[in-house]
Structure 1
Amino acid sequence: MNTYFRIALAAAWSVLALSSTQVQIGGCDRPCLESLISTYLTALAAHDPWRLPTAPGVKYVENSQVLPLGTGLWPTAGSPGKYRHVFADPGSKQVAAITTITENGVGSIYVVRLKVGEDGKISEIETQITRDTAGAARYERMGQPEAVWLVAVPPEQRISRAMLIAQSNKYYGGMERNHPKGNYSFFDKDCNRLEDGLQTTNVKSGDSYGHSNDTAFASLGCEAQFQTGFLGFVTKIRNRRFPVVDEERQAVLAITILDHNGTVRELPSVNGTSSPIPPYFDVPRTLAASEGFRLRGDKLFRIEMTLTEVPYGMRSAFLAGPPVDLRGPSTNLTIAIPCDHACLDSVVDRVLRAMLAHDASNLPLAQGVHYSENGQFLTLGDGLWETLGRAARPGVDDYAARFADPASGTAAYWGLIKEHSTPGVLALRIKVDSGKITEIEAIGVRAESIGARGGTVTLMRPPLPVEWEGNSLSRLDPVFQQDETGVTGISPVLMTAYFDGLERHSSTGVLFTPACTRRDNAVQGNMSCAAQMDGNGISPNGLYNRTTTVRDRRILIADASKGVALVVAMIDNPATGLAPLPATERVPSTYMILQLIKVDNGSISRVESMIRWMPFGYTSAWAEHNIPGRGDVF
């Protein structure tokens, strides 16, 4: 994560943690581990991490983001609810719990895993917040886990730790690209599954399952469900971890990441007819899942799952290794050296054509080319490369533009796209060096619409003050598309002042033209750019009134011939304002802000902005891994 976010408060937490009460050294049995969960939840509700017996450098992760302990949920959490399902593993000195909690008074499902180091102090804290108020309410009505989860199994009836993990892993092997002819005998005949507190097996209510319109799937048992192949839209299950193995109770708490790459377009027949994939799965999705398994003998008997959405391609914060497997050998194609403005424009067109053809082999790729989407490194060919169906053409369509900076060998695109039936706005940054493409960075904002079968709205996040639901963007302001004469360039000082102003909520020192206008997610308010920044009233997008840090600021391209900068930044909203907060600001959030900024005679005259929600503390991998050529940081 970036330097600012990593060191904020960390030194204070570490020093004070040294004086915290220590867990017994040399071992921590079940009562010890269960009491540690209680201590943790009490400290969380009190907003007081000093109460925890933490080791220096304790690693704290919230919804896959590494944060300083004491940030994120810590300032906003309320008291834990009644439901608490604890998994204890004295052998690995780890404990986890599925429970409920409130954030600024709103109920959520909360999963926490704690690891105790050799010094008897907490060395790892991993949490997942599933912002599903209905699911939290279901858990509260349950009050406690089904009794079978809590019963100690006689030693002679237990299977080994390794077998518990192996049998649980078969669940993920069977779900990944779920094949109807697979061997699913690892399920107990009486198996049942909960998803966010809702039973989704052996239920005869006739309700549809998840985002689908299928009313028969939930009536089946665990094995019968897998035999339908219905879950084949889960295209990959990776970063599988089984950190808490409760041998006494023959239970496992697993943490995994589920990818849905958007290529599966039809669900197989369950209730008599096949059906199209729900719109939610038009685009690549990644879900982080925490899942409990209770075995009876060597069969999966009970399953308890809760999950939340994270950016596509997100990796576990607890698995080391390279960020992504790169494409490998370069192609033998090249482009002109040096690559002038016209050459860079042609590079944009070639990349778009390749993405629409779902084939990068005709591009002049360098060895080890880097590709990312929304700040996550992916293998070239994944993500948008499999789902893009239409892209607006610069010079032809109303909402599209190309940009070029021959001095840095950078080309860029901004335009309206469609993935299957879901519209979006895509920004591309393409880096060219020595006749080869070395980097392609894609940032996309997709329509978030509420409709049939759940629409396309990202799971478990608050609404933005202004959502883009795929409504008309009208024409992109021509000032972003036209080459001009006499343009003096774009000063990094001006860009720095602009984002400093967003962070301070003050336009002092920021040069705007008097007639400067700004659009956010296709909405333009009636205030000037300076008035929005100053917080005079509520800005159209409402994002900047309580936000704090503006970080990971990058100029993706500065096109001197057009007087336009394409920039991106992360803006944090810790949700710590005075109550009552609006629904859009009740949970800690990070906004990825993608902007076109037009500069006239040294002053900002137009801003076109698209905004997407990210988990609090999200950092782009380009900044995280300090990749050279990732754009100017300011």
Structure 2
Amino acid sequence: MYSSIRSAVSAIGGILISVCLAQEPCDRSCLEDVLSEYFTALTSNDPSRLPTTPDVKYVENDQIIPLGSGLWPIAGSQGKYRHLFADPQSGNVAAITTITENGVQAIYVVRLKVEEDRSISEIETQITRDASGAALYEEMGEPEAVWYEPVPPENRISRERLIEQTNKYYSGMEQNDPHGNYSFFDKDCNRLEDAIQTTNVNSSDPYGHSNDTSFASLGCEAQFQTGFLGFVTRIRARRFPIVDEQRQVVLAVTTLDHNGTVRRLPSVNGTSSPTPPYFDVPRSLLAAEAFRLRGDKLFRIEMALTEVPYGMRSAFPAHGGLGVDLEGALDAVLDALRAHEPARLLLAQRARYSENGQFVALGDGLWETLVELDEGARFVDPLRNTVGFWGYTKEQSTPGVLALGVRVDGEGRIAEIEALGVRAESNGERYGTVTLMRPPLPVEWEGEELGALDGVFLEGKGVEEEELLGLVEAYFDGLEAHSSAGVLFTPDCVRRDNGAQREESCAAQMDGEGEAPNGLFNRTTAVRDRRVLVADSEKSVVLAVALVDAPAIARGEEELPPTERVPSTYMIPQLIKIEGGKIARVESMIKWMPFGYTSTWGEEQEDNGRE
């Protein structure tokens, strides 16, 4: 389809190409046509035949080079094996195939980013110069049929879930813990590595560089349960550029680091063996890997890999929207918290951790006292590379609510963790758990069951981040001014503070009607150190925190209630839900702080403002 249209347009100078072709979205067939034209241009050694954007990015084995160089002058014929992948939602199309370079066969992986006008803005290629692997692919002729079978809608899992399950493969392989949970594998899972089946094969051939002849006889889950793959010390730059919901297929690109420090591996027969000499020195492998899921489990895996210099940066840094696995990063943090093992985390060089606004050592505080942490609710913000969590905790015997923000850098490393923990403060035996010498809170929480988070926070139709942030800023302004003028609330907006819900509407509370506006009292003043941890455009939810000052100053002759007789500052982590362009739900927890308290994050903001 595309090739015939393009030929007709080029006959009149190509003037109308973007206008005519942008009338319809580029579906699977369209994307595959663009890819076919790419191969025609490549094997003709003529990049000028491609419809590219002016700033097209061309990459071979993670090197950014001019389009037309590298493989282009020496590419020969394409082989008959061609495994296609398409993601109309993201505009990406790819193939695992074979090609010749000066007559020598190689495995070739290519991904194209196709824009709305059908022009190509990104060309990412991986050349695995393994002639025997290419020959095996040619013998296969075509991929297993299951890769191309559409899955009935009722049996599919979401795009996000496909990425989440796929990323478990990498998290499980990294430092391969023999005691890990590998139930994400289908019982009939099989894996190809450079066209060689490396699971459920009974042969006397050793696996990879090792001398172990039993590993390849095991299934996917059983292999991971041996811990044999522990020589893979880090898997970074994880990207998932193609997610095919119709076929339940994911194509991922990652870099596998082997730092050379793992000297012995558990063998399949239960004994330890020296690590293969290949891993005596640090090495990195660039891997393109396809996954076909059955249900929510990995059913088929196809990998092609090649070696690159150790530690080499990816040519496509994994920014949030391009594939940083934010939920995988959150999983890692939550699992490390539960295990009290921060050393498990893949950290950025100057990673920081804070609790209730103060930087503390990673592993201190909550890391040592946590005994229970529920599954909670998750919120993802790809534009900021952040992910958030809201859930219930227990530290020793004390219940709490934890709001957590995690920021990930472009390489998938955890750069910042901010924990906001509101613990139950009860007047129990031997003075209970109340903060020493603090005044009573306007709304106390002594540990009563708060119930599951309202499901409305987990549903959404999608809102642009700019709109979310504008609504939240107006909301904080309204809190400070005690006026709902300029704040958009739905008529039935509901607000809870420390689990207590008042009868007044959100607007009425903010305007000071009734006894306790905005969950505090109407003599609060500044609402400062306002920070958005996560703005989840898909769920239309913002996870934010602010400090609210209550200076204990009476108005005229009025008598202050007991809760306002001491100058106080309240730290308030909160979830703010947007529906139809208005604030529909607010869930907040209130923690007392000394009057004038400022978080270290807020101090940084002030310092940056002065510079």
| Higher gyration radius (CA) | 2
- Higher helix share goes to which structure? 2
